[in-house]
Chains A and B, each alone.
Chain A
């Protein structure tokens, strides 16, 4: 698609990204992405996690250098890989995770970097009055003398926006700006953005929330798997279409046969924690339950809950219909819950321990020790058994695990879990970062565990993975869980809506 034809004749674009391609190793983050941004326009960049939104913006902002393609601002090409150049050209970015110094005041944060460090205090009065003027003009109410640490999240975001405006940015990029805001703060933000457009600024709004995209943007660009798959004028589209475009019309077909649900092995009844609200979930023997959702919506909390790291604040956690007396990782292990953690480097293994030590990390006390004395010979032969059975490519059990590739590390963790014959398996992003061979291996093993009667919870950001393996699917958004959908019951549009937190509001 060439969007240049469509937008021709509207004056010089303020920003032009042309045929941007960026690869990391053999992963394509952006492929041939082109778009224009015009004066006074809000374009929304819509896409799932990993669709390439953030990479694209990092290229624009000079954090990454594109393999191919050019970025021009006001008709001038930006030198690649220079954040300063983008700033100087009038591009301001409001990051999802704020880049503020909490122990400094608002005005210091805003003025920092505009003048030499020593000159800063001399310009205090001028800086503050400029900030006050901007605050008023854009309805960004913050006290320039307040310490940033004392501000609410919404106020901090206003400081970030002021920081960009203070540098006379003509182009504002907002990365998931509403993720951290209350609905009222979101409304205030939108009022500010409308003010900014009226004053001739141009905005790129990155989001996966459909109703916000519909409310604020004039054009929507949809990214999927690094490619710009669609461009729509906002008035010509609707949420259903956008949801379908974001997820992709072709949802992968499952390639393992459907199975009837066995008995409920793990049940959550209206469980709430700090990050989960009223979650109800049942894992059945012989089934894989997929948990879809945009990352950061409570997947980690749900995984930590079932892994024993956190306990429910309210509601019940039942294993085989029984509530355990207390809840900890040891309890979870003795309830025969096998856990494949999200971060195999930080949580799943100890980098400087060898394979033997990592292999017995969860079972040393029960299986490889007697009265406090380790049975290292037994441990080493267990590790060798895992290496042989789970095809871990390594020099031997005495190798430090940090020397293994991600795939081989994951195979060892998988073996550690499956060898204990778990009745419930939590697999959190089990194939993230693995090559295709390792992916197929892990999926095959999970499917085999399901055949053997285990209840599997598969947490993934990759919808294809969820669709391919799951017997039933839940979608998580902002700590709330959708009802369970049987395989095939959820089409792409519906899934996209639930992921955006709008499931159940229309035709669900």
Chain B
């Protein structure tokens, strides 16, 4: 048995992987729901209802999708240029930390000035955080998978130090959390009375902007060239190292904007459990989206819906929420497999 490349896959074949992955994930989940003593159809029904069955549920899903769009975009833009950024988690926290540090009254300015300042400050922090591994990669050929991954742990400890030290809320009764953001530093709701903040709109704008960069600008062309064939890109005179560094700035900045959005839009303060692994889930989101910036939005919505829906389902019938994690994990595995089979076919002999 051997794999044979398909030279010109049809559009149908190319769009198969995400669909197969989602179907596969549901199949695995159905099996596990049975084992856990639930009726699979009822479980799925409750997940869907919990994710979008009511206005409240839908808004909850959109809120949950917001940080995932940012981290998903961060991973997608980096992976497209073959910069393996596993550190979106740390960059996310970097953005959150800057927001918490500067948004608690340090800078006194009206919202119209303060919010862009916070966003840009957060993005810069994330960019710097990814620039370090990127420079190590371009200068010393240090593997960025290792450095970005390890940065996650180092940076989370650093956040822990900040929350016990300089950023600790004096009124927090000893809890490791930052002070609350001033009202001027909060992202307002898109529609009064609905619990959905402007962070979601910002995420959509970032996705659209990234799509435009990818298709319409020289940077997008250069990033794709470097990602697909670095040797040919270098030969053609594309400044490969500069492109990698620019990619790092974009990617780190996007992940950090997620942290800004989460603190300024949703939580209002920084805690150590701000992210339940948004940076890592961003990898799943980016892969499900086949690294397409617009696809990231849909993949993030799907992933968020599963999490939100599983929470609600679990409260209703007692099948554990771990089902959501397993669904995501199996969706990712199926995706990798399905991508393989969208490019190759099996030949016997």
- A361→B221 CA distance, assembly (Å): 9
Q: CB-nearest residue of chain B relative to A416? A: B236
The digit string for A342-386, where 1 denotes a CB below 8 A from any CB of B, is 000011111111000100011011000100111010000000000
Find chain B residues with CB under 8 A from A332 CB: 237
Residue A422 interfacial (CB < 8 Å): no
The interface residues of chain A lying within 8 Å CB-to-CB of B232 are 346-350, 361
Query: What does the 1/0 interface line of A136-150 toward B look like (CB < 8 Å)?
Result: 000000000000000
Cβ-closest chain A residue relative to B240: A329
Contact present for B228 and A374 (CB under 8 Å): no
> What chain B residues lie within 8 Å of A374 (beta carbons)?
216-218, 220-221
B8 interface neighbour in A308, A364, A403, Cβ under 8 Å: A403
Query: Is the CB of A52 closer than 8 A to any CB of chain B?
Result: no
Determine whether A330 belongs to the interface, using a CB cutoff of 8 Å to chain B: yes
Q: A362 and B237 in contact (CB under 8 A), knowing A352-B228, A353-B228? A: yes
- Nearest residue, chain B, Cβ from A360: B221
CB-CB < 8 A to A352: which residues of B?
228
Residues of B within 8 A of A365 (CB): 218
A353 B218 Cβ-Cβ under 8 A: no
Asked if B217 contacts A361 (CB within 8 A), the reply is no
List chain A residues, Cβ under 8 A from B235: 307, 309, 329, 339, 341, 347-348
The chain A residue with its CB closest to the CB of B238 is A361
B225 near A: Cβ within 8 Å?
A: yes
A372 and B228 in contact, given A307-B235, A329-B236, A403-B7 (Cβ under 8 angstroms): no
A residues within 8 A CB of B225? 350, 353, 357, 361
Q: Indicate the member of B218, B228, B233, B234 with the most A CB atoms within 10 Å.
A: B218
Complex CA gap A308/B217 in Å reads 26
Interfacial residues of chain B within 193-212, with CB under 8 A of chain A in the complex: none
Residue contact A372 to B236, C-beta cutoff 8 Å: no
Output the least CB separation between A152 and chain B (Å). 25
Contacts of A58 in B (CB 8 A): none
Residue-wise, chain B 237-258 has the 8 Å CB interface mask toward A (1 for contact) of 1110000000000000000000
Q: Does B219 interact with chain A (Cβ within 8 Å)?
A: yes
Q: Contact between A373 and B216 (Cβ–Cβ < 8 Å)?
A: yes
Residue A333 lies at the interface, judged by CB distance under 8 Å to chain B: yes
Contact (Cβ within 8 A) B228 A350: yes
Report if A328 contacts B (CB, 8 A): yes
- Residue of B217, B221, B228, B233 near A351 (CB, 8 A) is B228
Question: Is the C-beta of A402 less than 8 angstroms from some C-beta in chain B?
Answer: yes
Query: Are B237 and A328 in contact, CB atoms less than 8 angstroms apart?
Result: yes
Q: How far apart sit A365 and B217, CA to CA, in the bound complex (Å)? A: 10
Q: Is the CB of A372 within 8 A of B234?
A: no
A369 to B233, CA, bound (A): 17
A308 engages B7 (CB within 8 Å) = no
Query: What residues on B are CB-neighbors of A376 within 8 Å?
Result: 216
Whether the pair B237, A329 counts as a contact (CB closer than 8 A) is yes
CA distance A263 to B210 in the complex (A): 50
Q: Compute how far the CA of A350 lies from the CA of B217 in the bound complex, rounded to whole angstroms.
A: 18
Q: Is the CB of A350 within 8 A of B229?
A: yes
CB neighbours of A350 from chain B (8 A): 225, 228-229, 232-233
With an 8 A cutoff between CB atoms, is B4 at the interface?
no
When distances are taken between beta carbons in the complex, the residues of chain A under 8 Å from B220 are 374
A400 surroundings in chain B (CB, below 8 A):
8
CA distance A405 to B137 in the complex (A): 36
In this complex, what residue of A is CB-closest to B235?
A347
**A window 283-336: CB within 8 A of B:** 307-309, 328-330, 332-333
Which chain B residues in 1-38 approach chain A with CB under 8 Å? 7-8
A357 engages B218 (CB within 8 Å): no
- Please, which residues of chain A bring their CB within 8 A of the CB of B228? 350-353
For A357, give the chain B residue with the smallest CB separation: B221
Bound complex: CA of A328 vs CA of B229, how far in Å? 18
Is the pair A373, B217 in contact by a Cβ cutoff of 8 Å? Answer: yes
Q: How far is the CB of B131 from chain A (nearest CB, A)?
A: 21
With an 8 A cutoff between CB atoms, is B143 at the interface?
A: no
Indicate whether A330 sits within 8 Å of B237 (C-beta atoms), given known contacts A347-B232, A352-B228.
yes
Q: Provide the bound-state CA to CA distance between A374 and B218, in Å.
A: 6
Nearest B residue to A341, CB-CB: B235
**CB-CB < 8 A to A372: which residues of B?**
217-219
Contacts of A361 in B (CB 8 A): 225, 232-233, 236, 238
Given A347-B231, A348-B232, A361-B232: A373 touches B237 (CB 8 Å cut-off): no
Q: How far is the CB of B153 from chain A (nearest CB, A)?
A: 29
CB of B218 within 8 A of CB of A364, answer yes
Which A-B residue pairs are the 9 nearest by beta carbons?
A: A329-B237, A330-B237, A361-B236, A350-B229, A369-B218, A362-B236, A347-B235, A350-B228, A350-B232
Residues of B within 8 A of A (CB): 7-8, 216-221, 224-225, 228-229, 231-239
Contacts from A to B (Cβ < 8 Å)? 307-309, 328-330, 332-333, 339, 341, 346-353, 357, 361-362, 364-365, 369, 372-374, 376, 400, 402-403
> Can you list 23 A-B pairs, Cβ within 8 angstroms, ordered by A?
A307-B235, A309-B234, A309-B235, A330-B239, A348-B232, A349-B232, A350-B225, A350-B228, A350-B233, A353-B224, A353-B225, A353-B228, A361-B225, A361-B232, A361-B238, A365-B218, A372-B217, A372-B218, A372-B219, A374-B216, A374-B218, A374-B220, A403-B8
> With contacts A353-B228, A357-B225, A362-B236 known, what are 17 further pairs, Cβ within 8 A?
A308-B237, A328-B237, A329-B237, A332-B237, A333-B237, A347-B232, A350-B225, A350-B232, A351-B228, A353-B224, A357-B221, A361-B233, A369-B217, A372-B219, A374-B218, A400-B8, A402-B7
